[in-house]
Structure 1
Amino acid sequence: MDLKDLRSEIDVIDKHIVELYEKRMEVASQVADYKISVGKKVFDKQREDEKLKAVKALAHSDFNRIGVEELFSQLMSMSRKLQYQKLSEKGASGNLPFIQKDSIDKKNSRVCFQGAAGSYSEEAMKKFFGEDVNSTAVETFRDAMALLEEGSVDYAVLPIENSTAGIVSEIYDLLSEYEHYIVGEQIIEIKHCLLGVPGAKLEDIKTVYAHPQALMQSAKFLSENGNIQQIGMKNNAFAAKKVADEKDKTQAAIAGAGAAGVYGLEVIKEGINQADSNSTRFIIVTNQKVFLKDAKKISICLEIPHEAGSLYHIMSHFIYNNLNMTKIESRPIEDRNWEYRFFIDFDGNLGDSAVKNALRGLREEAKTLRILGNY
């Protein structure tokens, strides 16, 4: 047989495969009807494991056994997606335990932020809630979460990601630890300045204080301007306050220009971060399970079985429900070596049927799932 004949034979086989696939999905639809009628879960891992073992045994080589396992894993995954859709059509998608709100009462809210006056966190808070917001500054991110937990504040403003330095890993860990929820976000352009006491010049500076991320973002400038000692601080505003309090011309802080006015410092050099475009994304967190009716982004965290293909199958729920996943991060799970918790952002609203359908599938197939917020 020549290549043309071989391809024609493959075309005939593929036609039969499509016919058999559609027949299989028709039966899967009937299975869904039965499960709905008796209240049985869609995902039956024991049954699927037995099925994979059986079909692999039908293959005649190691290569084909691997292929058959992957093929049937996908077939069963697609069958589950169909069954989840049928559950939604029958009104069995379930109600998510979140209350929809029209808006946030920004005027009468009590808000905390980590840092001090003049920090980027304060700037983000005021941009989101307004200049007259009733606010409290705390020393650590955990302090902010604790205030929320005890009800002393209604919202906390926390940095979660920088466009050049990446994620703030502590925030991800705290989101998985506390039962708090994201209801908004605010992006702030970061323009680091070198601040010193009045009269200080660049050549005077021997020591610079700043948050480690600010030091990292300004590394090129610092390396090009002498042997400057770099010391990390919990917050850039704390660094500015330290320089102002100690009144030493050899010390400087990296912070925003606003901090100079707050602490009576002078801007020695503007825009010392090497990236021309540098922004930090802040999240607005509350202890209430609420979301705004016009929310467009959902954040979740989940744990999956520690086995081959788990993440691949989890991702398919976004594909089959036509949901755009915008971000995925992983963090190690404490006391469980080489196991990870995944944080995922995707477009959608908790009121959307496609979102409900995807979340139902994720909840059944992941070991744990938490909705971190819709905002």
Structure 2
Amino acid sequence: MGLAELREELDRVDRELVKLYRERVSLVSEVAKEKRRSGRAVLDPVREEEKLDSVSAFLKTELREKLPGEGIQREEGTEKEPKRAAVPGKETQGGESGRGVPLSGESEKDSRRAGVEIEFHERAVRELFRQLMSLSRRWQQRLLGREPSPASGFREVSEIPRKKKRVAYQGLPGAYAELAARKSFPDDCRFLPSESFRSTVESVLSGRADFAVLPIENSSYGAVADNFDLLLQFPEAVILGECFLPVEHVLMALPGGALSGIRRVFSHPQALAQCESFFREHPRIEAVPMRNTAEAARRVRESGERELAALASENAAEIYGLSILQRAVNQQKSNTTRFLIVGKEKIYERGAERLSLSFELSHRPGTLYQVLGSFLFNDLNLSMIQSRPVPDRPFEYRFFVDVMGNLSDPDVRNALSELPGFRILGNYSDFSDAFPRKAAFPAERIKGGI
């Protein structure tokens, strides 16, 4: 049979599959009616596992009966036909019960091939039916108009109040985190500098602040990995919003300083990395890491030394009375940092667009694939995935993912129902530029030192 004829046969089989799919959907619709009458839940995990085991066992039996004659090719030069395999629970063709016959007759090599083939198809059919059942649940939910519970305790609200709130951020006035906070909240809020990322979250959980602003990833440098871990260390913390802040690093020094005289530049390690090309062009200048860009600007101000400079925001230069030696020092002009807005109330806005989740998986082949498949077959866009090592469990990892969707969406809830143990970190929208500001940055100029 040539390729054209084979393709015709495949088309015929595929048409039969479509007919069988339609027949299955019709039966699923009847199941939905019965569940409506009985009030039973759409998801029945015990039944689904039984179904997977059943189709897997059926496939094994079918393959053991048919593979020796159809799926395994005899080696060239072998004259004898392969013997038929024994089916568990049945008499062998030779009349003896319970004595297994090699799957491919005389050849041990063929037997191993048959075993590999059975294993492959068993996994394949389990995955096929897992996705069929996922699609069936989606169809039942649409027929019933039900939304499966995410078992998360989150509550939908029309909007998240942001006026006259206390907003904590890491660093000093002029830090990029403060800019993100002011970009996300109105001028009537109080913006509270904090020593560390941890203390910003702790201030929210203790009630000293209403929100905390945390950087989570940068378009040039990647994830702020420690803050992923921080979110899990505080289970009460909830992501309520996000902010995208374009970042332009400015080189600043004391008035009277000049680029030719600069010997050391202070900044946060990420800011230094984002300006790597600058340091390649000026090899005599030493890059000195600090905890925060605004702290670097203050360090230069306090030093009184014109040989020192800082990489920070233009607002930091204004606050600390420094002169700008060079703008746009970072090599990536589209450099943007994404910040998370964290609170402690399990709420989400009606129009929330991004869902952040965390989960751990058993160390087995295919577990991550199955989780990602639940998003695919529920038509959800996965926008970010990040892995982090699990403490005290070497070479085991937890995953953080962002999915575009809302907890009120039945497809989102259906996907969540398929996940192993997971935690919803938040369902939220972009807070950037939500309020008009009276000034670009209402900072107080600091004169004569700190």
Q: 2:133 corresponds to which residue?
A: 79
**Among 187, 190, 210, the residue aligned to 1:154:** 210
Computing the radius of gyration over CA atoms, which structure comes out larger, 1 or 2?
2
Q: 2:395 corresponds to which residue?
A: 338
Asked if residue 354 in structure 1 is aligned to residue 411 in structure 2, the reply is: yes
- In structure 1, give the amino acid aligned to 2:196: T
Q: Please provide the CA RMSD for this pair.
A: 2.5
Q: Give the Cα–Cα distance (whole angstroms) in 2 for the partners of residues 84 and 7 of structure 1.
A: 32
Q: Give the Cα–Cα distance (whole angstroms) in 1 for the partners of residues 9 and 182 of structure 2.
A: 68
Moved more, 43-52 or 343-352: 43-52
Task: Trace 1:269-308 onto structure 2 (pairs within 5 A).
Answer: 269-308=326-365
**Among 427, 430, 438, the residue aligned to 1:373:** 427
Q: 2:252 corresponds to which residue?
A: 195
Q: 2:11 corresponds to which residue?
A: 11
Cα 1:354–1:264 change in 2 (3 A) is same
- Deviation string, structure 1 residues 265-318 (Cα, Å, up to 9, x no partner): 111111110112111111111011111222222222222332222222212222
- Deviation string, structure 1 residues 113-139 (Cα, Å, up to 9, x no partner): 001011111111111113342121111
Asked if residue 328 in structure 1 is aligned to residue 330 in structure 2, the reply is: no
Cα 1:78–1:250 change in 2 (3 A) is same
Question: Is this contact kept in 1: 2:355–2:403, CA < 8 A?
Answer: yes
Q: Give the Cα–Cα distance (whole angstroms) in 2 for the partners of residues 40 and 192 of structure 1.
A: 53
Structure 1 residue 250: Cα displacement: 1.6
Asked if residue 52 in structure 1 is aligned to residue 109 in structure 2, the reply is: no
Task: Trace 1:180-259 onto structure 2 (pairs within 5 A).
Answer: 180-259=237-316
Unaligned runs of 5+ in 1: none
Moved more, 124-133 or 33-42: 33-42
Q: Secondary structure at the match of 1:299?
A: strand
Q: Secondary structure at the match of 1:199?
A: coil
Q: 1:111 corresponds to which residue?
A: 167
Cα 1:65–1:100 change in 2 (3 A) is closer
Q: Secondary structure at the match of 1:344?
A: strand
Question: Is this contact kept in 1: 2:217–2:224, CA < 8 A?
Answer: yes
Structure 1 residue 106: Cα displacement: 2.4
Q: 2:323 corresponds to which residue?
A: 266
Cα 1:250–1:129 change in 2 (3 A) is same
Cα 1:46–1:12 change in 2 (3 A) is closer
Asked if residue 121 in structure 1 is aligned to residue 125 in structure 2, the reply is: no
Question: Is this contact kept in 2: 1:209–1:231, CA < 8 A?
Answer: yes
- In structure 2, give the amino acid aligned to 1:75: F
Structure 1 residue 150: Cα displacement: 1.2
Q: 1:94 corresponds to which residue?
A: 149
Q: 2:373 corresponds to which residue?
A: 316
Q: Secondary structure at the match of 1:156?
A: strand
Q: Give the Cα–Cα distance (whole angstroms) in 1 for the partners of residues 396 and 54 of structure 2.
A: 26
Moved more, 147-156 or 71-80: 71-80
**Identity score, percent:** 34
Cα 1:199–1:289 change in 2 (3 A) is same
Unaligned runs of 5+ in 2: 68-113, 430-450
Q: Give the Cα–Cα distance (whole angstroms) in 1 for the partners of residues 6 and 138 of structure 2.
A: 39
Cα 1:134–1:2 change in 2 (3 A) is closer
**Among 135, 145, 148, the residue aligned to 2:191:** 135
Question: Is this contact kept in 2: 1:42–1:80, CA < 8 A?
Answer: no
Q: Secondary structure at the match of 1:336?
A: coil
Q: Give the Cα–Cα distance (whole angstroms) in 2 for the partners of residues 69 and 369 of structure 1.
A: 28
- In structure 2, give the amino acid aligned to 1:42: D
Q: Secondary structure at the match of 2:45?
A: coil
Using the size of structure 1 for normalisation, the TM-score is 0.90
Q: Give the Cα–Cα distance (whole angstroms) in 1 for the partners of residues 303 and 131 of structure 2.
A: 64
Q: Give the Cα–Cα distance (whole angstroms) in 2 for the partners of residues 358 and 268 of structure 1.
A: 52
Moved more, 141-150 or 60-69: 60-69
Q: Give the Cα–Cα distance (whole angstroms) in 2 for the partners of residues 302 and 208 of structure 1.
A: 40
Q: Secondary structure at the match of 2:393?
A: coil
Q: Give the Cα–Cα distance (whole angstroms) in 2 for the partners of residues 121 and 107 of structure 1.
A: 18
Structure 1 residue 49: Cα displacement: 5.0
- Deviation string, structure 1 residues 195-220 (Cα, Å, up to 9, x no partner): 11111111221111111000000011
Q: 2:445 corresponds to which residue?
A: none
Moved more, 251-260 or 46-55: 46-55
Moved more, 143-152 or 330-339: 330-339
Q: Give the Cα–Cα distance (whole angstroms) in 2 for the partners of residues 146 and 284 of structure 1.
A: 14
Structure 1 residue 253: Cα displacement: 0.9
Question: Is this contact kept in 2: 1:85–1:357, CA < 8 A?
Answer: no
Question: Is this contact kept in 2: 1:99–1:291, CA < 8 A?
Answer: yes
Between the two proteins, the alignment pairs up a number of residues equal to: 372
